[in-house]
């Protein structure tokens, strides 16, 4: 009896399971909400995607970024027959007939034919005139596996949960599926609402259980119904300058760090690169070092100098004992007695520690006040309302800077030593390289600060503008013109003076202004943060450039990297 009941319940369960699959949950089977009907159709469908329908990026001059569009020959091998005019096709492709036949026989599914060289548009049109079922020539769009401008542009991938959460309306309308690719990081993520595919362009045909084409069904061409899509984003990036930055970082062995290059006149991002590059396996573990907090070291002395100038604390005839460090002990560099200007040029820590303590007596919040004026504590990337997106941002997960840690009490920063450490960009001071680059652009421009743009516009497929990103001047207090002028002079002397920490840049055929910095990282004593932040040409500023090496040991890579990038940029500009 027990065995009979067991088999009865088993049969009932299997009957219910079969009914669930065949009749009840055909469009939302299991906790994964699988559409069984669609999956069944997909199993019987062979397809070749010509264009995934996702929007794309252009550089400032209209060149495609991280995407290739090439004329290619697509073959559906199951449709190959003796009726194909093999000789004619081989002649168009400049191939021996036997070679062409062999290439087709090696294909197991719809694929691009591997050819010795890329075909021309003329060859593509000649092949299509033959009207061969199963042989087509098309402009095929291919996304580069390792995207150009890796961190700033970002990558795409499948994320069904994000589709359900973010694009519920599109999912219901059928314009996207759970398999539609979305941005994972970088501008692919921030601009995803404009880039997400509205439908693929593809060749499809249906097959039977054995994989043979169903009789009477031809290969169908399916494309987006809206000719204005896909949209494209015209970025501010300069492809040649971005390549120069990438190649120079690699040539000098910058394993961790990167560079930011800004056009001073327009405050647009021309190039940005972070090392190491991410791969498909490390997208979620990886951060863009250029938009995340880093310890600035002596680059932060610009803030202390600005405060001292603005608060009238500078006396040029007053000398500071630069044979000592901020701990009152003998400094290894033994710089002697220096005034403030020479202290900035040679990067004397003792001077700026003493200055900070003097400033602290009259204004306990001066540090944050002047860091704020120089834009180091706020977002520096373009932000604003775009249609229904209330706080649209050009930069992915951009962090803001900090002077003090929220995990500590304010009393922890009141000692003279803590004040000195903060004044030279140590202790808990952290800023982003993007913010430092924007600070240099602001100083070079005379004190007016703007948000950094990474995109000029979002356009329809025919080039018509959908959105234009206007300039955003940053709000808040600004430094006085006199203070900015003094800062410009200090930054120029760092390079012009033979004892300056960046005097090696004197050899360039144009003048550079800037500030070097070395920051101890605390936890990892093997490496320091090494910076050089500057702008050029100093007498008529056009570019702000920041280099950071987060694994600085005994080799100073930042100055040579700055030199080589600046040289190449000026060559590009003058050519």
Contact (CB, 8 A) for 328 and 349: no
- Asked, as a colleague might, if the bond just before 537 is cis with ω within 30 of 0, I would say yes
Which residue among the candidates 66, 197, 273, 298 is catalytic per the annotation?
298
**For the residues of 524-540, what is the DSSP string, one character each?**
-TT-EEEEEEEEESTTS
Angle of helix 349-362 relative to helix 301-310, nearest 10 degrees?
Answer: 50
> How far is Cα 461 from Cα 540, in angstroms, rounded to an integer?
38
**For the residues of 349-384, what is the DSSP string, one character each?**
HHHHHHHHHHHHHH-TTHHHHHHHHTTTTS--B-EE
Where are the extended beta strands (E) located within 52-91? 56-58, 64-65, 67-75
* Dihedral sign of CA atoms 502, 506, 508, 512 in order: positive
Alpha helix (H) residue ranges in 47-110: 86-92, 97-105
557 burial via Cβ count (<10 Å: 0-12, 13-18, 19+): buried
Q: How far is CA 302 from the centre of its chain?
A: 27
Contact (CB, 8 A) for 204 and 212: no
Give Cβ neighbours of residue 213 (< 8 Å, ≥ 6 apart).
78, 79, 205, 206, 207
What helix, strand, coil percent values describe the chain, rounded to 5?
A: 35, 25, 40
Residue 94 structure tokens: 């400049």
Q: How far is CA 84 from the centre of its chain?
A: 47
Residue 568 structure tokens: 């190449």
Q: For 214, which DSSP code?
A: P
Q: Which of 444, 451, 402 is nearest to 427 (CA)?
A: 402
* Dihedral sign of CA atoms 247, 249, 253, 255 in order: negative
Q: Which of 330, 299, 275, 257 is nearest to 437 (CA)?
A: 299
Active site residue 25: no
Q: Which of 110, 114, 121, 85 is nearest to 99 (CA)?
A: 114
- Asked, as a colleague might, if the bond just before 327 is cis with ω within 30 of 0, I would say no
Which are the catalytic amino acids? Answer: 298
């Amino acid at each position: 009896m027990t065995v009979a009941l067991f088999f009865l319940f088993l049969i009932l369960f299997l009957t219910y399971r079969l009914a669930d699959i065949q009749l009840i949950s055909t469009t939302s089977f299991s906790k994964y909400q699988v559409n069984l009907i669609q999956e069944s159709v997909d199993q019987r469908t062979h397809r070749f995607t010509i264009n995934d329908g996702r929007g794309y990026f252009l550089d400032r001059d209209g060149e495609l970024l991280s995407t290739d569009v090439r004329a290619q020959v697509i073959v559906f091998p199951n449709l190959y027959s003796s009726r194909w005019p093999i000789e004619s096709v081989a002649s168009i492709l400049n191939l021996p007939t036997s070679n062409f036949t062999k290439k087709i026989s090696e294909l197991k599914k719809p694929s691009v034919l591997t050819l010795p060289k890329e075909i021309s548009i003329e060859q593509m049109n000649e092949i299509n005139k033959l009207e061969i079922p199963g042989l087509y020539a098309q402009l095929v769009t291919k996304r580069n596996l390792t995207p150009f401008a890796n961190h700033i542009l970002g990558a795409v991938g499948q994320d069904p949960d994000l589709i359900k959460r973010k694009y519920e309306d599109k999912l219901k309308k059928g314009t996207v599926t759970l398999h539609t690719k979305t941005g994972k990081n970088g501008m692919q993520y921030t601009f995803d609402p404009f880039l997400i595919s509205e439908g693929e362009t593809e060749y499809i045909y249906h097959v039977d259980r054995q994989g043979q084409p169903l009789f009477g069904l031809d290969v169908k061409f399916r494309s987006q119904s809206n000719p204005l899509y896909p949209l494209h984003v015209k970025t501010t990036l300069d492809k040649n300058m971005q390549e120069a930055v990438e190649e120079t970082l690699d040539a000098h062995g910058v394993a961790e760090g990167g560079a930011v290059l800004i056009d001073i006149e327009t405050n647009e991002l021309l190039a940005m690169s972070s090392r190491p590059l991410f791969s498909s396996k490390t997208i979620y573990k990886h951060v863009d070092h250029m938009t995340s907090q880093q310890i600035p070291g002596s680059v932060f002395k610009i803030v202390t100098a600005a405060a001292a100038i603005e608060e009238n604390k500078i006396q040029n005839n007053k000398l500071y004992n630069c044979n000592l460090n901020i701990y009152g002990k003998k400094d290894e560099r033994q710089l002697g007695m220096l005034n403030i200007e020479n202290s900035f040029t040679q990067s004397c820590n003792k001077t700026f520690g003493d200055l900070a303590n003097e400033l602290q007596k009259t204004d306990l919040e001066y540090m944050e006040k002047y860091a704020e004026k120089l834009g180091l504590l706020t977002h520096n990337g373009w932000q604003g309302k775009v249609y229904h997106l209330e706080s649209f941002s050009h930069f992915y997960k951009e962090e803001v800077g900090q002077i003090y840690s929220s995990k500590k009490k304010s009393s922890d920063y009141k000692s003279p030593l803590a004040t000195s450490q903060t004044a030279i960009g140590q202790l808990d001071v952290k800023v982003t390289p993007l913010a430092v680059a924007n600070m240099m652009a602001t100083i070079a421009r005379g004190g007016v600060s703007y948000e950094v743009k990474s995109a000029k516009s979002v356009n329809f497929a025919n080039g018509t503008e959908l959105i234009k990103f206007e300039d955003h001047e940053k709000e808040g207090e600004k430094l006085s013109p006199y203070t900015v002028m003094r800062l410009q002079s200090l930054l120029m002397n760092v390079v012009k003076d033979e004892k300056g920490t960046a005097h090696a840049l004197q050899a360039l055929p144009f003048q550079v202004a800037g500030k070097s910095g070395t920051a101890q990282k605390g936890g990892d004593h093997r490496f320091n943060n090494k910076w050089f932040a500057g702008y050029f040409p100093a007498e008529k500023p056009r570019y702000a450039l920041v280099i950071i090496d987060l694994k600085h040991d005994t080799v100073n890579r930042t100055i040579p990297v700055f030199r080589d990038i600046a040289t190449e940029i000026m060559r590009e500009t003058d050519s």
